[in-house]
């Protein structure tokens, strides 16, 4: 099946992103899936898919329209640079508005992607952007993305291995900003789920070691 006009447009924009940034979008999408599964909302994604595409995989797509030299900078941004960076939520929203216009069957997909792209930098206490929404006025998928996005940033080593945080450090950071940046219910579910999964893995490893000893003679 040949790709539709909208799919081609999406692919072209994504290809303008540096590889590390494209990867960041995909990994954040994966964490969104994990969080939604922990919330018992694993079926939500299938209702929003368009062809084989998920609206979870594009939250920072608008960065494709930013000055790539600015993006590559590892220093702290000046106020002006920060304003330029903040525009990525509007640029990204524009992409999905255009796709919605030319692809009538992508309506649900585009609406969900727009919510995520536009509001993933809103903060639970109202101190975020672009609209300063707070609490549950921030759409659910954007609240989920906010947690997934920051966790992904902390875990990845985009600025070099020294910037990469351990799982524990990253979860602690989420807890520190629970209720200010993040929806506290989502942080609690994610931290609990991840910790349990890690403990389970550790238990499996311990059982492996015990069994390998037991069966080795």
Residue whose CB is less far from Fe ion, 103 or 113: 113
List the structure tokens of 135.
Answer: 């609490």
First and final C-alpha spacing in the chain: 57
Task: State the nearest-atom distance from the C-beta of 135 to Fe ion, in Å.
Answer: 20
Task: State the nearest-atom distance from the C-beta of 161 to Fe ion, in Å.
Answer: 20
Residues with Cβ < 8 Å from 198, sequence gap 6 or more? Answer: 167
Stretch that binds Fe ion, among 2-10, 53-61, 72-80, 100-108 (CB under 5 A): 53-61
Residue whose CB is less far from Fe ion, 149 or 170: 149
60 forms part of the interface with Fe ion (CB under 5 A):
yes
* # binding residues, Fe ion (CB under 5 A): 2
Angle, vertex CA 47, rays to CA 117 and CA 38, nearest 5: 75
93 forms part of the interface with Fe ion (CB under 5 A):
no
Which residues, in sequence order, are bridge partners of residue 53? 50
Residue whose CB is less far from Fe ion, 54 or 149: 149
Task: State the nearest-atom distance from the C-beta of 55 to Fe ion, in Å.
Answer: 15
Tokens 């494209």, residue?
A: 22
Task: State the nearest-atom distance from the C-beta of 46 to Fe ion, in Å.
Answer: 24
Task: State the nearest-atom distance from the C-beta of 7 to Fe ion, in Å.
Answer: 22
Binding mask 126-165 for Fe ion (x = CB under 5 A): -----------------------x----------------
* Site residues for Fe ion per CB under 5 A: 60, 149
């Amino acid at each position: 099946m040949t790709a539709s006009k909208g799919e081609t447009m999406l692919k072209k924009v994504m290809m303008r992103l540096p590889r590390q940034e494209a990867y960041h979008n995909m990994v954040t999408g994966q964490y969104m899936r994990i969080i939604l599964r922990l919330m018992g909302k694993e079926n939500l994604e299938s209702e929003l898919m368009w062809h084989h595409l998920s609206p979870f995989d594009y939250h920072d797509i608008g960065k494709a329209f930013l000055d790539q030299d600015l993006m590559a900078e590892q220093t702290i941004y000046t106020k002006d640079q920060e304003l330029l960076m903040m525009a990525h939520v509007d640029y990204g929203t524009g992409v999905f508005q255009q796709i919605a216009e030319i692809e009538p069957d992508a309506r649900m997909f585009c609406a969900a992607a727009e919510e995520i792209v536009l509001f993933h930098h809103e903060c639970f206490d109202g101190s975020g952007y672009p609209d300063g929404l707070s609490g549950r006025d921030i759409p659910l998928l954007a609240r989920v993305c906010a947690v997934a996005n920051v966790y992904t940033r902390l875990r990845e080593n985009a600025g070099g291995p020294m910037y990469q945080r351990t799982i524990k450090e990253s979860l602690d950071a989420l807890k520190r900003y629970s209720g200010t940046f993040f929806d506290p219910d989502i942080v609690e579910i994610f931290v609990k789920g991840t910790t349990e999964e890690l403990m389970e893995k550790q238990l499996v490893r311990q059982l492996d070691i015990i069994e390998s000893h037991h069966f080795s003679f």
